[in-house]
Amino acid sequence: MSGINRLSLAFREIQDALRELSDADLDKLVSGDYQISLKLVKRKSSINNKHNTLSLNKFESILGLLEKCDSREDGAEILSKELKNKIDFEMFARYAEVAVMKSDKVDKIRDNIIESTIGAKLRSVAIQNKG
């Protein structure tokens, strides 16, 4: 793994940890009275790593399907078929570089994914057709 990829992975881990902070913790950080401390912790099990490897192929396939969608409804249907629970939606959202908060419900995560993939494309097409 190249140095840039390693650094990118490290930043993604930090980003995920920051997203899990509560509003109260974020307020403390912004106040300047608190600072962030990093601590490396071993993952719970290697089963997650195997699941992640399998998920990457699946996620790439789902992202390809979403890129071909012509409507938000088609995208919602694909996501409902392919992703079964909140964890799947969260993992896919992170793969697709869509912001997810720990407190988000499945519907909110799904809507954010759709807007970031299909919605962006539809808005771009609409703008180009108006010009």
Does residue 119 carry a pLDDT above 70?
Answer: yes
What are φ and ψ of residue 84, in 5° steps?
-100, -25
Domain ranges of the chain: 1-41, 44-131
pLDDT tens digits for range 2-42: 777 788 888 888 888 888 888 899 899 899 999 988 888 77
State pTM to two decimals: 0.59
The C-alpha atoms of residue 4 and residue 70 are separated, in whole angstroms, by: 35
The C-alpha atoms of residue 106 and residue 104 are separated, in whole angstroms, by: 7
In this predicted model, which residue has the larger pLDDT, 5 or 103?
A: 103
pLDDT tens digits for range 58-98: 998 999 999 999 999 999 999 999 999 998 999 899 888 89
The C-alpha atoms of residue 6 and residue 117 are separated, in whole angstroms, by: 26
The C-alpha atoms of residue 62 and residue 118 are separated, in whole angstroms, by: 12
Query: Concatenated DSSP letters for 62-73?
Result: HHHHHHH-SSHH
